[in-house]
Amino acid sequence: MESPIRFADVDINTILKTLPHRFPFLLIDRVKNIREDYSGIGVKNVSYNEPAFLGHFPERPVYPGVLMIEGMAQTAGVIGIMSVTGTEQPRAVYFLTIDKCKFRKPVMPGDTVEYHMTRTGRRKTMWWFHGEAKVDGQIVAEADVGAMLAD
């Protein structure tokens, strides 16, 4: 049985108040279904107009895998910050670890990537998540990421 939803839809305006990231490095458009078990789904609408496609690759645009991992981390950051009660101001979120990373299928302009993140551990301000990036329900990448929240 899934845990109850705490935040059904975190829109871009709330993300901008939550994370310090900005263009061109804010890599999620929304986060949905943040649950009490500290899971949630980040959404990224991949557009051909993004700067990465200028060089990756002009003849066959493929969304860079490292940007998907960053999107996972940003989703995890929103889940963590929104879940900590009493958090009013934006906090910095720093990567700690990236483990068991696998890329399974290329992501192209026009795809919508969903970052399905589930917390696997927490110690004070450090959080660990397992993430699966999916396009149309199919896993395109996965990784375990760790992050630290800081003021």
Contact in structure between 130 and 146 (CB atoms under 8 Å): no
Q: Please give the Cα distance from 139 to 91 (Å, whole number).
A: 30
The residues near 54 (Cβ < 8 Å, ≥ 6 apart) are none
Q: Is 56 a catalytic residue?
A: yes
Contact in structure between 41 and 31 (CB atoms under 8 Å): yes
C-beta atoms surrounding 111 within 10 Å: 16
Which residue in 21, 56, 116, 130 is the catalytic one?
Answer: 56
Catalogue the active-site residues.
56
